[in-house]
């Protein structure tokens, strides 16, 4: 086999120089996305939507039969 002039340790270090900045860019993009969505009010009301479905008023709606006449 042909011998390489680059050791295994040098290959690992060169990968670190690629992965660390790439990870930093991904984290920066996530932080920017969070800040933008928070400023636009995406996270303002987290309590009402789950409760709204529990307070649905079925008594206000009267079921209709298949011929379109409201049942009593």
pLDDT per residue as tens digits for the range 24-72: 999 999 999 999 999 998 888 878 877 777 776 655 566 666 666 665 5
φ, ψ at 30 (rounded to 5°): -65, -40
- Split at pLDDT 50, 70, 90, the class of 5 is low
Contact (Cβ atoms closer than 8 angstroms) between residue 25 and residue 19: no
Contact (Cβ atoms closer than 8 angstroms) between residue 43 and residue 37: yes
Q: What is the pLDDT of residue 30?
A: 98
- Whether the predicted model's global pTM rises above the 0.75 cut: no
Rounded to whole angstroms, the Cα distance separating 21 from 27 reads: 10
End-to-end CA, the chain:
89
């Amino acid at each position: 086999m042909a011998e390489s002039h680059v050791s295994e340790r040098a290959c690992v270090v060169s990968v670190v120089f690629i992965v660390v900045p790439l990870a930093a860019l991904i984290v920066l993009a996530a932080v920017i996305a969070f800040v933008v969505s928070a400023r636009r009010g995406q996270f303002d009301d987290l309590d009402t939507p789950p409760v709204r479905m529990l307070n649905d008023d079925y008594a206000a709606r009267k079921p209709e039969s298949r011929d379109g006449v409201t049942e009593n």
